[in-house]
Every structure is written in structure tokens, then in C-alpha cells.
Amino acid sequence: MGIRDYICRMQKLLESHLAEEHGIEHIPSDNTGVFLDEHTKVASIGVQVRHRLTNHGFALNVTREPLAWFNKVVACGLTDVKAGCISDAVELKGGAALDSIAGELPGLVKRFGRIYEREMVPLDISAEGEEEEAVRAMVAESVSSGSWHRKPEF
């Protein structure tokens, strides 16, 4: 799979998740990412390719909490775009606000497997191995860092 196809599938994953999980239709955009309207971006995609290795991911704003942070930056160089979240879009449709990302994970994982044509299996971090040890180390580092600031302090 080429990088362009990879990114297009990631975009489709996010669009499908919004539609199937929440009944939210995105609007098409010339920019990468998923938009709720012409000026509100709910998901961003970042992919770096160096020496045939990738660092990749996406940001999907589920709750309002990260919006205070995103309002302090010009995301992706788009000066006329602000960050939005799934929770606000759901509320506009008459649904209840979302208060956690945990409920989004099962649907995202299922759709990721379908769109990337991969079998998704849970990682048992209690097992012994290099990958499991790396995950345990990241979890320990995260826990030891304490809670993060809820609002920007600048």
C-alpha cells in the first residue's frame, strides 16, 4: 500500500466513524482532515515518511476538553479554521454530550480493521516480549507524569 492510499484510508476511517457511530456527516474539503463545516475541523491526520518508515496518527476531538488548547494554535496553517469536537456535533443533533474517549475506541478499532483490511486483536501486555515491555514502559511513564493541565496557562 502506498502512502497516499494509506492516508486516504485513514481519512475514510475517521469519516466512517463519525457517520456510523454518531450519524454525523462530514463536509468535503481540499484540506486533509475531517470537517464538520467549512470552518470547523474535528479530526487531523499526520504522517511522516523517512527512509521507508512511517510515524503516523490522527487526532480526533471527542470532548470539549482539548479545544482550549487547539484554540491557541493555527492548526495545519489554516487561519480561518477552528477545532470542533464530536460531543458538540452530537448535541446539535439532539444527543447527549460525550464525556470520555473510551466509548470511541471499539468502533474505531473495528473500522480500522475493516478499512485497512487487517485483523485487529488485543495486545496482552501481561505477556513477555519486546512489544509488551515497550507498552508497559510507556504506561508507567505516562502514569508517573501525573495529570495534565486541563487548560493552557499561557
- pLDDT (0 to 100) of residue 20: 95
**Is 85 one of the annotated active-site residues of the chain?**
no
Question: Residue 124: which H helix or E strand, with range?
Answer: none
The residues spanned by each domain of the chain are 3-122
Interatomic CA distance for residues 20 and 83, integer angstroms? 21
Of 7, 47, 67, 76, catalytic: 76
Query: What is the C-alpha to C-alpha distance for residues 142 and 138, in angstroms, rounded to an integer?
Result: 6
Question: For residue 42, which of 75, 1, 9 has the smallest C-alpha distance?
Answer: 75
pLDDT of the chain, 154 residues: tens digit per residue: 888 898 899 999 999 999 999 999 999 998 888 999 999 999 998 888 777 777 778 889 999 888 888 888 887 788 888 999 999 999 888 888 888 888 899 999 999 999 999 999 988 888 898 988 998 999 899 888 887 777 776 6
- The 3-state DSSP class for residue 27 equals strand
How confident is the model at residue 113, as a pLDDT?
97
Q: Please give the single-letter amino acid code of residue 74.
A: V
Amino acid identity of residue 76, one-letter, is C
Report the pLDDT value the prediction gives residue 154, as an integer from 0 to 100.
Answer: 61
List the one residue out of 107, 112, 27 whose CA is nearest residue 62. 107
Decide if 31 contacts 76 (C-beta within 8 A): yes
Q: Is 78 helix (H, G, I), strand (E, B) or coil?
A: coil
The CATH classification number of 3-122 equals 3.30.930.10
Angle CA 132–135–139, to nearest 5: 140
**61 dihedral zone (left: phi>0; alpha: psi -120 to 50; beta):** beta
